[in-house]
């Protein structure tokens, strides 16, 4: 039984200028203990698709058009605001990109962590405070007895992100959702936070959805990678397969735009490493989403059919089980022929 099963989720924003087709039929499952990396350029629907499941998009203008999100046997999309509040921070932990906006500046760290524990775990205040100190220690904050009584502005960016992580894992969630948790950090601190998350995942055994625009960031932490574009899943599969047996032209473009020292770009048929490049063209107009494959206008391998008919997400021919791609073209053969 998957821990989370998302089925045909579609989300729109109704604005004065028209309707933004932010999420356009997303289906996938997360197994207990799995780490799923969700990757895509800015605007691809990564945040909206998880926020809508958690009841965190503003309605209006947001509107869940259709779909289901079964978490631990219950459809999150059918829960009341009260029930969702219980799930958030309880069974599902959440970490956002910018701790400065998600932490309350006028409350001490102790208050913010203990609040979660009192609400969700029904701990007494003293027990919650004790646990808060343990949590700060667990996420690598030195001198936690003293620091627990400090305020967010007294912490560095990296330490604030660790506080956010402590809050995210406080109730030992079955699922932790991290939306660009390291994006605002410099690379050294980012690496430390990634190490911490790997370590916590091993210790706590929770499942994780890690959202990022940077393939390099999730390469070392995700079991599976899911690439999104134009509010759709373009490719999904075991991390190794997605990196080494890439089937979507969009994923291929993302990999080629990675700097060498993070993760080598996929070599071409002659074993040459392509130079770093930007994907030419611009993202789809979500007010008027294309009828076909949303990446088709930027895809040199697109066929006539790609422009008119959206391909379903299906098992990649000859790929490992669970390696799925949404494409009418076969990236392997077009690249072989191009070589």
Ligand X SMILES: Nc1ncnc2c1ncn2[C@@H]1O[C@H](COP(=O)(O)OP(=O)(O)O)[C@@H](O)[C@H]1O
- Minimum Å gap between C-beta 44 and ligand X is 4
**Which member of 61, 205, 317, 321 binds ligand X (CB under 6 A)?**
61
- Minimum Å gap between C-beta 58 and ligand X is 6
Closest to ligand X by CB, 40 vs 152, is 40
Closest to ligand X by CB, 19 vs 263, is 19
Interaction between residue 60 and ligand X (CB under 6 A) = no
Interaction partner, residue 44 (Mg ion, ligand X, none; CB < 5-8 Å by kind): ligand X
Binding range to ligand X, per CB under 6 A, among 45-53, 93-101, 181-189, 270-278: 45-53
Distances in Å between the Cα of 21 and the Cα atoms of 63, 290, 312 are 10, 10, 18
Binding range to ligand X, per CB under 6 A, among 37-45, 85-93, 287-295, 328-336: 37-45
**Which member of 1, 16, 17, 42 binds ligand X (CB under 6 A)?**
42
Binding range to ligand X, per CB under 6 A, among 43-51, 98-106, 182-190, 266-274: 43-51
Interaction partner, residue 188 (Mg ion, ligand X, none; CB < 5-8 Å by kind): none
Interaction between residue 176 and ligand X (CB under 6 A) = no
Give the separation between CA 199 and CA 93, rounded to whole angstroms: 17
Interaction partner, residue 43 (ligand X, Mg ion, none; CB < 5-8 Å by kind): ligand X
Give the separation between CA 37 and CA 213, rounded to whole angstroms: 10
Token output for 44: 């691809």
Q: Is the peptide bond before 132 cis (omega within 30 degrees of 0)?
A: no
- Minimum Å gap between C-beta 46 and Mg ion is 5
- The dihedral built from the CA positions of residue 329, 243, 224 and 63, taken in this order, carries a sign that is negative
Interaction between residue 47 and Mg ion (CB under 5 A) = yes
- Minimum Å gap between C-beta 288 and ligand X is 12
**Which member of 30, 46, 294, 327 binds ligand X (CB under 6 A)?**
46
Scanning residues 266 to 295, which ones bind ligand X (CB under 6 A)? 286
Interaction between residue 47 and ligand X (CB under 6 A) = yes
Binding range to Mg ion, per CB under 5 A, among 41-49, 125-133, 135-143, 301-309: 41-49
What is the contact surface with ligand X in residues (CB under 6 A)?
Answer: 13, 15, 20, 22, 40, 42-48, 58, 61, 286
């Amino acid at each position: 039984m998957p821990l989370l099963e998302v089925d045909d989720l579609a989300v729109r924003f109704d604005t004065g200028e028209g309707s933004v087709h932010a999420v356009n039929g997303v289906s996938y499952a997360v197994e207990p203990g799995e780490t799923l990396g969700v990757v895509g350029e800015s605007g691809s629907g990564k945040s909206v698709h998880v926020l809508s499941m958690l009841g965190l998009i503003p309605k209006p203008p947001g509107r869940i058009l259709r779909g289901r999100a079964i978490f631990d046997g219950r459809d999150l999309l059918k829960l009341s605001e009260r029930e969702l509040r219980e799930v958030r921070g309880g069974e599902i932990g959440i970490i956002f990109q910018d701790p400065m906006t998600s932490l309350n500046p006028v409350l001490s760290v102790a208050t913010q962590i203990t609040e979660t524990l009192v609400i969700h775990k029904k701990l007494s205040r003293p027990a919650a405070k004790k646990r808060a100190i343990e949590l700060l220690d667990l996420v690598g904050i030195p001198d936690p007895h003293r620091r627990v009584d400090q305020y967010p502005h007294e912490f560095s960016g990296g330490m604030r992100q660790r506080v956010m992580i402590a809050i995210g894992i406080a109730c030992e969630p079955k699922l932790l959702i991290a939306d660009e948790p390291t994006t605002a950090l410099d690379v050294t601190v980012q690496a430390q936070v990634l190490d911490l998350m790997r370590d916590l995942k091993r210790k706590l055994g929770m499942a994780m959805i890690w959202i990022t625009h940077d393939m390099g960031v999730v390469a070392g932490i995700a079991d599976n990678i899911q690439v999104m574009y134009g509010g759709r899943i373009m490719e999904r599969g075991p991390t190794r397969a997605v990196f080494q047996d890439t089937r979507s032209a969009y994923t291929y473009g993302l990999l080629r735009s990675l700097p060498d020292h993070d993760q080598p770009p996929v070599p071409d048929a002659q074993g040459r490493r392509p130079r770093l490049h930007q994907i030419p063209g611009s993202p789809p107009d979500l007010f008027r989403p294309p009828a076909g494959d949303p990446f088709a206008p930027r895809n040199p391998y697109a066929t006539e059919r790609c422009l008119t008919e959206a391909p379903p997400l299906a098992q990649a021919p000859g790929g490992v089980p669970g390696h799925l791609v949404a494409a009418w073209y076969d990236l392997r053969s077009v690249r072989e022929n191009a070589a």
